[in-house]
Each structure stands twice: as structure tokens, then as C-alpha cells.
């Protein structure tokens, strides 16, 4: 299959990589027409100026709007896209030159609603980037079938007819709007594909503060997803039950440590010791399970640094617990809209 393609790039303060991203898009080894739509979501850095410098490279549309979040920016681009295959590419994703050619092959099957490429970790990336990237790569590598239950908007092509049927992205989600779209597409009877030989490089955020912020939104978004799609409480093919269970276990061990400290404070030392020892038992189990995961990643990557993954995941779990408690405290019990068609 070869067909004209629209590529939507939502952008917010992306001056560091947006030039490389656009170079990779315009250098695609692809014969059919490509239109590129960059939606600047209230950027305040020089990213918009950099984008304007690419107007002579090809068919480029630039939309500048007040900051409304990534889902709304993506929806804006999808609305003005002209072609029947619409790609979503993040502003820190650099595509390999044959990415689009490989992706488009899967749309020969009319039942395929979306196709995602494989996300690689940058060479010589900072420590935190390597840990997060290797984690995701391993989970991709363990997928036996190309058919998956979730695709990410980071580098995914969607069939316009499928989007028209299920509606646009749900703008109430800061995180998880791509999961929500994936679930709606599957509920509508479409198949999702992970195309492992369609590769791109993701330049993850490098600092610990950004990682914690990202994981907080991830945990909060997961609760929104579970509320809207209760049948997906076990996760999906990329983030499965084994990963999801880390969070309640972490919440349980924190509870036991707090109870242990409380009983000790009131001189109930025996009860306090019981709760503390139980907490340490759960902590040992969580870390042991994550060390087994890290060992599998090490066999693939051969880098000792991956044995820091259990501690990074423990931090991630704690942040997810924080997001869960915040979600509960805000009484987010109202079920979100069933469709995203009215999202902006």
C-alpha cells in the first residue's frame, strides 16, 4: 500500500529536538505525498521559529494556539489533516528514514485501525534516559504477536475512518489519552499493530524532576483509564498486570511501615515490629521481582546500569501511589464520557 499521509506533531517548548524531528519527517523514503502539521500548543521558547525555518522543505502547515494540552493540540492537527492516514509524532521523536514505508504496509488490512513503530533509546543517553528506555524496549521485545492492545501517540499512524468512527482524543486526560483511544478502537472492532522494524529514537526527558512529574501524570491517568474502562484494570500488552500490581504492593508496604511507626510511638512494640517486619517482607518481594526483571534486561543490553531499575521502579511506584491517593482525595468518581468525539 502507498497513500498520501498527514503527519501531526503537537509541540510545546520543543526547541531542543524539533529541528531533528522535522528533518527526519521530511527525509522519509516515501514516494506518496506527505503533509506535515505542527501544532504549537502555546510554546514560549524558540521552537516555533525553528519550525518556520522548514517551510521551504515541503508541505508544512503551522498552527499556533494557546496552551491546552497535548490531546487538544493533537486533535487540532487531526481536524485539519487532509489524508486518510494520519500519523501522530511527538516533538522529541526522530524517525528512521524507512519508518513511514514500514508503517503503511500494515494498512493493507482494512481491519487495522492504528500502527505504532518501535521506540529505541538514544545512543550514549544519560543514565535516567537509558533506564527508562531499556525498560520500554524490553517490554516491546517480549511481545510475541504484532497485534497489541495499546499503541502510543509518540509514533503511530491512524486510519481516518477509524478515528471518525470512535471520535477524537479525550482532552480530559493529561496522560493515557492514547490508551483510551486504543481501547475505543478495539471496542469498535479494529486491530492495533506494533511494527517492530519501523523504528524511531525517543529523546526522553533527562532530569529526575521531569521523570517524577511524568510518572505522577501517568499514575493519575491510569486511574482515569480504569474508571472509564474498568475491564482494562489488568493493564494492556505493554503495561500488563505484573507491572500494575507493583503499585498496590507498594501502597501496602507503605501502610505497614506507617502502622509500625504508629504502634511503636504508642509503646505497642510487638505490634509495631510485626507491621515493620511485614513491610520489609513486602519491600523485599517487590525489589526481588524487579531484580529478576532487571536481570532479563541485562541479558539483552549487557549493561550493569540496568540493575538500578528496581530502585527507579520503586520510586515510580511511590509516585503512582501518590497519584492514586490524590485521585481518591479529589473524588474522581464521575465516569468520563464514553466517546471522545466532542473533545477539542
Q: CA-CA distance, 127 to 207, in Å (whole number)?
A: 10
Q: Comparing C-alpha atoms, which of 181, 151, 147 is closest to residue 166?
A: 181
Domain residue ranges in the chain? 5-232, 245-329
pLDDT in tens, 299-332: 999 999 999 999 999 999 999 999 988 888 886 5
Query: Is 50 exceeded by the pLDDT of residue 341?
Result: no
Counting every residue, how long is the chain? 344
pLDDT digits (tens, 9 = 90+) for 137-159: 999 999 999 999 999 999 999 99
Q: Which helix (H) or strand (E) is 99 found in, with range? A: helix 99-105
Is the separation of the CB atoms in 158 and 81 below 8 Å? no
| CATH number, domain 5-232 | 3.90.550.10
Q: How confident is the model at residue 267 (pLDDT cuts 50, 70, 90)?
A: low
In the numeric block, the cell 504549537 is attached to: 40
With bands split at pLDDT 50, 70 and 90, how would you rate the model's confidence at 264? low
Which alpha helices (DSSP H) does 202-268 contain, by range? 208-228, 241-244, 246-265
Q: What is the pLDDT of residue 263?
A: 67
Buried b (16+ CB within 10 A) or exposed e, 117-146: bbbbbeeebeebbbbbbbbbbbbbeeeeee
Amino acid at each position: 500500500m502507498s497513500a498520501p499521509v498527514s503527519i501531526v506533531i503537537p509541540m510545546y517548548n520543543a526547541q531542543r529536538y524539533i529541528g531533528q524531528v522535522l528533518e527526519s519527517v521530511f527525509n522519509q523514503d516515501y514516494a506518496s505525498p506527505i503533509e506535515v502539521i505542527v501544532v504549537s500548543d502555546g510554546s514560549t521558547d524558540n521552537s516555533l521559529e525553528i519550525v518556520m525555518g522548514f517551510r521551504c522543505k515541503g508541505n508544512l502547515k503551522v498552527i499556533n494556539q494557546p496552551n491546552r494540552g497535548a490531546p487538544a493540540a493533537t486533535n487540532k492537527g487531526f481536524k485539519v489533516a487532509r489524508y486518510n492516514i494520519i500519523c501522530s509524532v511527538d516533538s522529541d521523536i526522530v524517525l528512521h528514514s524507512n519508518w513511514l514505508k514500514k508503517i503503511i504496509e500494515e494498512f493493507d488490512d482494512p481491519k487495522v485501525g492504528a500502527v505504532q513503530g518501535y521506540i529505541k533509546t538514544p545512543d550514549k543517553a544519560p543514565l535516567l534516559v537509558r533506564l527508562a528506555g531499556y525498560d520500554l524496549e524490553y517490554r516491546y521485545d517480549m511481545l510475541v504477536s504484532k497485534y497489541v492492545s495499546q499503541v502510543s501517540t509518540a509514533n503511530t499512524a491512524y486510519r481516518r475512518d477509524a478515528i471518525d468512527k470512535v471520535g477524537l482524543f479525550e482532552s480530559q486526560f493529561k496522560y493515557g489519552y492514547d490508551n483510551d483511544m486504543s481501547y475505543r478502537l478495539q471496542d469498535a472492532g479494529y486491530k492495533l499493530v506494533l511494527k517492530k522494524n519501523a523504528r524511531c529514537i525517543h529523546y526522553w526527558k533527562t532530569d529526575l524532576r521531569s521523570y517524577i512529574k511524568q510518572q505522577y501524570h501517568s499514575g493519575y491517568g491510569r486511574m482515569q483509564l480504569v474508571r472509564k474502562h474498568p475491564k482494562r484494570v489488568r493493564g494492556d500488552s505493554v503495561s500488563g498486570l505484573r507491572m500494575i500490581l507493583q503499585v498496590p504492593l507498594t501502597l501496602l508496604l507503605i501502610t505497614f511501615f506507617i502502622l509500625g511507626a504508629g504502634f511503636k510511638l504508642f509503646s505497642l512494640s510487638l505490634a509495631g515490629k510485626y507491621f515493620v517486619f511485614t513491610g520489609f517482607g513486602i519491600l523485599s518481594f517487590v525489589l526481588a521481582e524487579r531484580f529478576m526483571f532487571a536481570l532479563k534486561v541485562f541479558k539483552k543490553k549487557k549493561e550493569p546500569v540496568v540493575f538500578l531499575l528496581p530502585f527507579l521502579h520503586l520510586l515510580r511506584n511511590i509516585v503512582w501511589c501518590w497519584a492514586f491517593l490524590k485521585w481518591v482525595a479529589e473524588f474522581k468518581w464521575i465516569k468520563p464520557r464514553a466517546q471522545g468525539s466532542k473533545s477539542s
